[in-house]
Amino acid sequence: MKKIIIIPDSFKGSLSSLEVCNAIEEGILKVFKDAKIKKIPVADGGEGTVDSILYATGGKIKKVKVKNPLGEIVEAKYGIIDKDKAVIEMAEASGLTLVKEKNPLQSSTYGTGELIKDAAKNGVKEILIGIGGSATNDCGIGMANALGYKFFDAHRNELEAIAENMIKIAKIDDSNIYKKIFDVKINVACDVRNPLYGKDGATAIYGNQKGVTKESFDLLDNGLKNVAKLVKEKFGKEIDYIEGSGAAGGLGGGLIAFCNAELKSGIDAVLDIVDFENEIKDASLIITGEGAIDGQTKKGKVPVGIARRANNIPVIAIVGDIRDGVEAVYDMGVVSIMPALKRAMPLEEAIANSRSLIIDATERACRFMSINL
């Protein structure tokens, strides 16, 4: 009996990663009728990460009341796996979809800190946190504040941990932090490579979508620079130009500074927490996929991330579209790419028929692979 691993990303705008898994499974069974199939829907740290990982691992959802970016109470969820691992999407507490009006100066990652603290209180030893979709630009000082860090101005007045106050901070006080946080290994799923501030930093690249204006830009960007300076003085950590420190309005850098977190590629962080190497033992074939594949895929997207860690098991990718530069993907370990489209068709038609197209593409791929399996 052949063991086949199905581990695709979503086809954005069309099917979730689990729906893609189900379609690929149907295609496999048309060829390998007695195959032992393991479905591992994945996301790379953005929306859907918690749900996909919980499906793959059999974990459970924990719901918590937290503050949204503007301090309103909302219900957020995170996942717990095997009692000692947690997976968090920061967008659940600090996401752009949680605010009716964008207000980056007043926004805070406090709710994300509440999720992290709740997970630590529940005894987890490892947290994976995806940091896509943020409404915030506060370098994670809100998150840190929820964990017990305090921030003071030059007159020793305690400051509210919101973005507009970053520039006023003169002292970071860590005397009352929730110390158990340092017993937890925190991995950040992050495929953004931006530094903390400057022309390629958090405010310059992502600020516009969060409501940053010409008037607020300097206040926020200089605020990030000020926090970085204080972090270096207080903790000896230079977060200014670490790739990914500018992710989620500087939360990437804040997690390094205040939680000793490690930034990882999104797919690597996800593969770690689902115990990928153990799951693929004795597998004959791995089938992955994504909506479009091109030269950018080699920079750590799902198919290449999987192929790098496949331990010489053949990896094929079912994709919606093949674009320029795809040759580089073969060099990274993907042995075959099968397009879902059999003929030219309008995008709307392809989306409407995506499930049947993926089933058919998988069947074609498996019939080809059956020669060598």
Please tell me whether the overall predicted TM-score, pTM, comes out greater than 0.75 for this model.
Answer: yes
Q: Which has more confidence, 330 or 203?
A: 203
Instruction: Classify domain 3-41+282-369 at the CATH class level.
Output: alpha beta
Are the C-beta atoms of 300 and 193 separated by less than 8 Å? no
C-alpha to C-alpha distances, 39 to 7, 18, 248, 279, 304, nearest whole angstrom: 6, 8, 30, 10, 18
Domains 3-41+282-369 and 49-267 share a fold: no
Give CB contacts under 8 A, 24+ apart, made by 31-35: 31/363, 31/366, 31/367, 31/370, 32/2, 32/4, 32/366, 32/370, 34/1, 34/2, 35/1, 35/2, 35/3, 35/4
Confidence band for 298, pLDDT divided at 50, 70 and 90 = low
What's the 3-state SS for 177-204? Answer: CCHHHHHCEEEEECCCCCCCCCCCCHHH
Distance of CA 31 to the CA centre of its chain: 34
d(CA 126, CA 264): 14
Q: With bands split at pLDDT 50, 70 and 90, how would you rate the model's confidence at 148?
A: very high
Q: Is residue 226 over pLDDT 90?
A: yes
Both tokens of 75, joined, read 């219900």
- pLDDT band per the 50, 70, 90 thresholds, residue 370: confident
pLDDT tens profile 1-54: 689 999 998 888 789 899 999 999 999 999 999 999 999 998 766 677 888 889
What is residue 302's predicted lDDT score, i.e. its pLDDT?
85
Tell me the HSE value of 170 on the side-chain side, using a 13 A CA sphere. 7
CATH architecture entry for 49-267: Alpha-Beta Complex (3.90)
Tokens at residue 26, please? 């149907």
| Residues in Cβ contact with 315 at an 8 Å cutoff, skipping those fewer than 6 apart | 286, 287, 288, 303, 306, 307, 333, 334, 335
Q: Can you give the residue ranges of every domain in the chain?
A: 3-41+282-369, 49-267
- The pLDDT, as a whole number, for residue 44 is 64
Q: Categorize the per-residue pLDDT at 61 as very low, low, confident or very high, splitting at 50, 70 and 90.
A: very high
Q: Is residue 235 helix, strand or coil?
A: helix
Please give the share of the chain, as a percent, with pLDDT higher than 90.
75
Sign for the pseudo-dihedral over CA of 138, 98, 53, 123: positive
The pLDDT assigned to 347 comes to 83
Radius of gyration, CA atoms only, the chain? 22
**CA gap 8, 282 in Å, rounded:** 19
**DSSP strands (E only) in 82-168:** 85-89, 126-130, 150-152
**Is the pLDDT assigned to residue 84 strictly greater than 90?**
yes
pLDDT for the residue numbered 149: 98
* pLDDT confidence tier of residue 65, bands split at 50, 70 and 90: very high
How deeply is 212 buried, as exposed, middle or buried, from its count of CB atoms within 10 A (0-12, 13-18, 19+)? buried
The tens digit of pLDDT for each residue in 164-223 reads 999 999 999 999 999 999 999 999 998 888 999 999 999 999 999 999 999 999 999 999
Average pLDDT rounded to a whole number, residues 116-135:
95
In contact, 89 and 269? CB cutoff 8 Å: no
pLDDT over 70 at 267, yes or no: yes
CA angle 224, 228, 234 (to 5 degrees): 140
What's the DSSP call for residue 12? T
pLDDT of residue 372: 67
User: pLDDT-derived band of residue 291, with 50, 70 and 90 as boundaries?
Assistant: confident
Other Cβ atoms less than 10 A from the Cβ of 164: the count is: 19
Report the candidate in 136, 95, 107, 103 with the shortest Cα–Cα distance to residue 211: 103
Tokens of 15: 């099917």
Tell me the pLDDT of the chain averaged across its residues.
92
pLDDT at 296 over 80: no
Question: Is residue 360 over pLDDT 70?
Answer: yes
pLDDT > 70: percent of the chain: 97
pLDDT band at 158 (very low <50, low <70, confident <90, very high): very high
pLDDT digits (tens, 9 = 90+) for 89-117: 999 999 999 999 999 999 999 999 999 99
**Confidence band for 325, pLDDT divided at 50, 70 and 90:** confident
Q: Are 367 and 31 in contact (CB under 8 A)?
A: yes
For position 236, what pLDDT does the model report? 97
Report the candidate in 201, 205, 242 with the shortest Cα–Cα distance to residue 223. Answer: 201
